[in-house]
Structure 1
Amino acid sequence: MTALRAPARFALTAVVSISAIAVLSGCSVLENIFPAQAERDDETQEISEGGQQDVFEVAVGDCFNDEGDSSEISDLPAVPCTEPHDNEIYYLFDLPGDEFPADIDAQSDAGCLAQFAAFIGVEYDVSTQIDYFPIQPTAETWEAGDREVICSVYDIAAQTTGTLAGAAR
């Protein structure tokens, strides 16, 4: 058996300490360090249990809550759409080309806006209560092959329960 060096002993002590605290506190510490993954219903494929959802595994109809201001998003805090939520994914599309677009914001907006009325039921310029935002590739994720733009809608005034599809407002 090899003796543990100080950093390894510290890491082992930290894991044991966190585990002990988690047991004593009902696991809330571990849930904060390792948040649960969202679960999908086998039949409907809708989010059935809230948790973190890999941004590369989202689907149209997924709902999620805001999670601070971050320029890079790898996970979304997904929730069932039957629960109060901040955002709903209404459209996914891939940007064309091999080079990272200099006008990625304009291309992302154009793609999302083109589908806004079909989902909400009124043109974006007419809507007074619902807004949208795209989640788009970064230069780094583009280099790794990411081309997908995630189009999300939200009610400007409050959280939504259920879908905004056909809200026409």
Structure 2
Amino acid sequence: MSSSPLRRGFAMTGAAVILAALLSACSVPANLFSGDAQRDEAGSVTEESSIDIFKLKVGDCKLVDDQNSEQLSDTNVVPCDEPHDEEVYFEFDLPEGDYPAEDEIVAAAEEKCAAEFATFVGVAAEESALHYFYYWPTSQGWTELDDRLIQCVLYAEDESKLDASMKGAKA
């Protein structure tokens, strides 16, 4: 296949522009390309951000997302000392294999999220003014992205805003 000198010149110029952009990306904030929030050295969110749902971590405090959606692709996080609705307090992976039935996922999530709730908050969920729910992988994410992660998330029973991390709060 032949190429004209003009087309080749455009290709070389385009390649140079792309290379320059990639090399200069070192000076661009990391969250611009990663879909993550600004974080301090300990990994805590330092400013409100919309992040890729796969960047959500234990200790992240978040605002309520579109509750009409069964699948989330992104979410809004804030520093935990700012008003927020929810906090991720534990996560674990489901075992490899075929995508489990929903009742198996729920049973695993209930068992681990309930146990870890008491560890994180300092009181059992039944004795707390906080409640929990969990995110789990979709069948598509399981097969296409190897997603096995369940994340346990707490919130205030009365749905009021939280203004601090609930770790050790005994609330």
Asked if Structure 1 and Structure 2 have the same fold, meaning a TM-score greater than 0.5 normalized by the shorter chain, the answer is yes
In the alignment, structure 1 residue 147 sits paired with structure 2 residue 125: no
How many correspondences in the alignment? Answer: 132
Structure 2 distance, partners of 1:111, 1:96, is 14
Q: Please tell me whether Structure 1 or Structure 2 has the larger radius of gyration of its CA atoms.
A: 2
Q: What's the offset of the Cα at 1:38?
A: 5.3
What residue identity is the alignment partner of 1:166? G
What residue identity is the alignment partner of 1:143? T
Q: 1:98 to 1:62 in 2, by over 3 A?
A: same
Structure 1 distance, partners of 2:40, 2:106, is 35
Structure 2 distance, partners of 1:55, 1:112, is 19
- Aligned counterpart in structure 2 of residue 165 of structure 1, from 161, 164, 167: 167
Tell me the TM-score normalised to structure 2 length: 0.72
Match of 2:73 in 1: 74
Unaligned runs of 5+ in 2: 1-34
Alignment of 1:55-94 (within 5 A): 55-69=53-67, 70-94=69-93
Post-superposition CA distance 1:25-62 (Å, at most 9, x none): xxxxxxxxxxxx65323422211111112121121110
Structure 1 distance, partners of 2:107, 2:38, is 33
Unaligned runs of 5+ in 1: 1-36
What residue identity is the alignment partner of 1:138? T
Q: Is 1:38–1:79's contact at 8 Å kept on the other side of the alignment?
A: no
Match of 1:133 in 2: 133
In the alignment, structure 1 residue 119 sits paired with structure 2 residue 120: yes
What residue identity is the alignment partner of 1:108? A
Tell me the TM-score normalised to structure 1 length: 0.73
Q: Is 1:63–1:87's contact at 8 Å kept on the other side of the alignment?
A: yes
Q: Which runs of 4+ in 1 moved over 4 A?
A: none
Instruction: Say which structure is richer in helix.
Output: 2
